Amino acid sequence: MDYDKEAITTPYVTAFIREKTEQTDELLKGLEAYAKENRVPIAEPETARLLSVLTRLKQPQRVLEVGCAIGYSSLVISKGLAEGGTILTLEYDPEMVEIARENIKRAGKSRVIHVVEADAKDYLAYIDEDESFDMIFLDGPKAHYVNMLDDIVRLLKKGGLLITDNVLFKGMTADDGHFARRKVTIIHRLREYIDALMAHPQLETSILSQGDGVTLSVKTVSDKERFGY
C-alpha cells in the first residue's frame, strides 16, 4: 500500500480538507507560500486549523512552543490567547530565529510572542515549575520528543493541553513496510514517544490522523496529588 507523501490520509481526502481549510489571514498565507518555496517545515494547513480551534477553546494564558521555525504556528496560536496571554517559543536555528522575529514584528505581536534561541532539550530543564504553561505545542526535532517528555509534563499545568505534531511522520511510524531506512532512528523514537504518552500516569492522550499525525494530551493529575507532597 502506498502512502501520500504530503499527508497520512488518502490523497483525495487530503485535497478535500485542504480545499475547505482556506487561509484568510494574508500574513499567514504569505508565510505558507514562503515555507513551501524555501522548504521550511511548518504545520500542515489542517493541523494549523486544529491548532487554532484548540487554542480558541482553551484560551491559554501562557503557552510554550518547541520549534518556532519562521513563526507560523506561534502566530496561529496567538489569535486564541486569553487577554494578556503570552507565548514562549524555542528555536535552535539562528537564521530561523531572525526570520521568526521579523515575521512576529510584522504581525505586531512582539510583546506577545517571545522567541528564544536555544536547544530545547537542554533549555527546558532550566525552566522552573513556577513558570508552568496552560498549553504546550511540541513541534521540534522529532527524535528528541521522548527525551523532552519528562520536562514537558513537569511544566504543563494540571488540566493543561499538550499538542504534539508529526507523530505519524507521513505514516511511517505506523508501518514497518513504509519507512525509509535513513529515517529509522526517528521512527523508533517517535514510537517510543507515543508509547510513553499513552502509558503516562499523568496524561490522557488521543492520537489523531490529522495532517502528519497529532497527539492531544491533557495533564489529569498533578505531582502533589499523585505523590502526596
Cell numbers of 49, please?
486549523
**pLDDT confidence band for 2 (50 / 70 / 90):** very low
Residue 46 clears pLDDT 70, i.e. is over it: yes
pLDDT of residue 11: 79
The answer to which of 129-143, 164-178, 193-207 has the lowest mean pLDDT is: 164-178
CA nearest neighbour of 75 among 145, 137, 127: 137
Note the pLDDT of residue 184.
84
Q: Is residue 63 part of a domain?
A: yes
Residue 3 has a pLDDT of 45
In-domain check, residue 157 = yes
CA gap 218, 157 in Å, rounded: 9
Look up the domain containing 130 and give its range.
Answer: 11-227
> At 42, which CATH number?
3.40.50.150
Confidence of residue 161 (pLDDT cuts 50, 70, 90): very high
Interatomic CA distance for residues 74 and 115, integer angstroms: 9
Mean pLDDT, the chain, whole residue set? 91
- Residue 44 forms part of a structural domain: yes
Query: Is 194 among the domain residues?
Result: yes
Sheet strands (E) in 36-171: 62-66, 86-91, 113-117, 133-138, 156-165
Give the 3-state secondary structure percentages of the chain, helix then strand then coil, rounded to 5: 50, 20, 30
- Looking at the whole model, is its pTM more than 0.85? yes
Contacts of 58 (CB under 8 A, 6+ apart): 80, 134, 135, 161
Looking at the predicted structure, is the pLDDT value of residue 6 above 70? no
Q: How many domains does the chain have?
A: 1
Q: Give percent of the chain with pLDDT exceeding 70.
A: 91
As given in the structure block, the three cell numbers for residue 61 are 494564558
Q: Residue 4 domain-assigned? A: no
Pick the closest to residue 32 from 50, 48, 17 (CA basis). 48
Question: Which contiguous run of DSSP H or E holds residue 106?
Answer: helix 94-106
Residue 1 lies in a domain: no
Do residues 14 and 42 lie in contact, with contact meaning Cβ atoms separated by under 8 Å? no
pLDDT by residue (tens digit) across 60-104?
999 999 999 999 999 999 999 999 999 999 999 999 999 999 999
Is 58 within a domain? yes
In-domain check, residue 127: yes
